Amino acid sequence: MITHPRTEELAQAVGAWIDQIRPSLDPRNAFLARVAANAMATIGRELTLGPVAEARAIAAMAEVLGHEGTHGELNHALCERIHAGEFTVETPGLLAALKIMARDQIAIDQPNYKPEGTPPPSPRQLPGA
């Protein structure tokens, strides 16, 4: 990948421009523009965090399945083993691997999302505190 600019910088620049024109739009388009700016941010995060997340997912899936493969091959095999009932919540390492993959993906898609099991915010994080 070339630099000056990197791809994520292009996404960042487009996102910033969308935010800049948002106030001038009608409510429906202002809403869609916010969604578009969010999409640009997601693209930026996927570009920067995606490679590490994919490598980690490959390692985690290969460990559970006991064989190597591309991300697509391993993911397909994992789904098949689960669908066939061969892998269950009892399968050693399965939930741990899925949790790593889920956490890495939410960090790209919605870093502010608070999944099940997130502890309560500390008092200073609460609004109005």
Partner 1 sequence: MTVDVLASLPRLAQRLGGEAAHLAAAERLSGGASMETWAFALDGPNGHEDLILRRRSAPFDPETARSVSLATEAALIQATAKTGAPVPPIRHICDDADGLGEAYVMGRVGGETLGRRIVSDPKFDAVRPKLARQCGQVLVPIHATAPPPGLNLKLSDGEGELNRYEEVYRASGAERPILDLAFQYLRRHLPAPTDPVLLHGDFRNGNIMFDAEQGVAAVLDWELSHIGDPAEDMGWICTNSWRFGRPDHPVGGFGEYADLLDGYKAAGGRPVELSRVRFWQMLGSLRWGVMCLTMYLSWASGVERSVERPMIGRRVSETEADLVVLLEEGL
CB of 101 to partner 1, least distance (A): 8
Contact residue for partner 1 among 32, 50, 62, 63 (CB under 8 A): 32
Q: Is 29 among the residues that bind partner 1 (CB under 8 A)?
A: no
CB of 2 to partner 1, least distance (A): 27
**CB 9, CB 41: distance < 8 Å:** no
Q: Is 113 among the residues that bind partner 1 (CB under 8 A)?
A: yes
Site for partner 1 in 7-26 (CB under 8 A): none
CA distance 56 to 70: 12
CA distance 61 to 93: 9
The burial class, CB within 10 Å (0-12 / 13-18 / 19+), for 75 is: middle
Site for partner 1 in 59-78 (CB under 8 A): 75-76, 78
Cβ atoms within 10 Å, residue 44: 20
Angle between helices 94-109 and 27-65 (to 10 degrees): 160
Contact residues toward partner 1 (CB under 8 A) are 28, 31-32, 35-36, 38-39, 42, 75-76, 78-79, 82-83, 85, 87-89, 94-95, 98-99, 101-103, 105-106, 108-110, 112-120, 126-128
